[in-house]
Structure 1
């Protein structure tokens, strides 16, 4: 995906540089409920700037960023990278200081973290990410079996090193 590195750079810059010249805009995102397979998911983005357009971005479980939609200040939507005005999978809109994104039929591929972005005076403002996962699915974590395979050998190695250190100290310290 050729746009992912550029989008990642924009996200990084937005997180590091939240505003200039004392301007403070807030962007918040929240989900209305925990999604279930095949159900509709609604996300809302709240901003204290009603005159700006809003971008929606999805980061999947592998960390890949994908542009979903741009909603202009006049509530016009552009989906994907092909200037499409409609989408079968997503719906989006704007109502006052709220913009919204709907995933029509939630699938495992839709799991991940959602962001809304706002461009005001050539400065990008980012929402904190909203993690959205199906019930019973973990984000990225280790299960118990993996924990055992990592921690047991590491604990044993530390014990052996500690034992070797104690023996070395005992052999090289002269007894008085």
Structure 2
């Protein structure tokens, strides 16, 4: 029994972020409005529809190919924006039934690029097809897509951040709780054995 928390910890460590899969999981990303006529200052709404209810991430790939984490929307509609913010001055996010909604409040040139929905399902990361969003007259880059760019340092940092916030922090809390329960059990057993000698 005294090995159970350590065993659980080792099993959980082996499950964290084992793979990234560039395939869809019945995930569709679309814009309800005509995205080809974007203007500066316009409100842009993007929908990610999926058949799984395990929460979804929204990621922006800018024109240089760099990935930016925007928000995580949980299965119960809680939102966590970049760097642990509950709200964002630039974005809104919500969940309605099986649709995870991302809103760019006021579109700017820095918001141009491709938008992806990502899910962590069965300990694997799945990406949706991208939704391009560019201002008229802007050449849509035919260069790197999400799965053809090299796994550069920025992408690695973003993935490590996902693991830290959504997997490691809750896991660490659970392990501390298990260790506390184990310590309490040992103390109670010794106390009982001390007061009830054979």
Q: TM-score range by the shorter chain?
A: 0.5 to 0.7
Partners of 2:141 and 2:61 in 1: how far apart? 13
Equivalent in the alignment of 1:77: 79
Equivalent in the alignment of 2:60: 58
2:40 equivalent to 1:37:
yes
Q: Give the C-alpha shift of residue 140 in structure 1.
A: 2.5
Cα offsets for 1:90-121 (capped at 9, x unmatched): 00000111011000000000000000001112
Partners of 2:87 and 2:102 in 1: how far apart? 13
Equivalent in the alignment of 1:14: 21
Q: Is the 8 A contact 2:61 2:114 kept in 1?
A: yes
State the TM-score, normalized to the length of structure 2: 0.58
After superposition, the CA RMSD in angstroms is: 1.7
Partners of 1:100 and 1:46 in 2: how far apart? 9
Q: Is the 8 A contact 2:80 2:87 kept in 1?
A: yes
Which has a greater percent of helix?
Answer: 2
Q: How does 1:114-133 map to 2 (within 5 A)?
A: 114-133=115-134
Q: Give the C-alpha shift of residue 135 in structure 1.
A: 1.1
Partners of 2:49 and 2:78 in 1: how far apart? 17
Structure having the higher Rg: 1
Cα offsets for 1:154-176 (capped at 9, x unmatched): xxxxxxxxxxxxxxxxxxxxxxx
**Runs of 4+ that moved beyond 6 A:** none
Cα offsets for 1:65-101 (capped at 9, x unmatched): 00000001110000002x1100110000001110110
Tell me the number of residue pairs that the alignment of Structure 1 and Structure 2 aligns.
122
Partners of 2:120 and 2:97 in 1: how far apart? 16
Q: Is the 8 A contact 2:25 2:128 kept in 1?
A: no
State the TM-score, normalized to the length of structure 1: 0.65
Partners of 1:126 and 1:64 in 2: how far apart? 15
Cα offsets for 1:113-167 (capped at 9, x unmatched): 00000111212221001111011111126xxxxxxxxxxxxxxxxxxxxxxxxxx
Helix, strand or coil for the counterpart of 1:13? Answer: strand
Structure 2, gaps ≥5 residues long: 1-16, 143-198
Q: How does 1:85-104 map to 2 (within 5 A)?
A: 85-104=86-105
Equivalent in the alignment of 2:109: 108
Partners of 2:63 and 2:82 in 1: how far apart? 19
Partners of 1:85 and 1:133 in 2: how far apart? 27
Q: Give the C-alpha shift of residue 36 in structure 1.
A: 1.4
Helix, strand or coil for the counterpart of 2:88? Answer: coil
Partners of 2:56 and 2:136 in 1: how far apart? 29
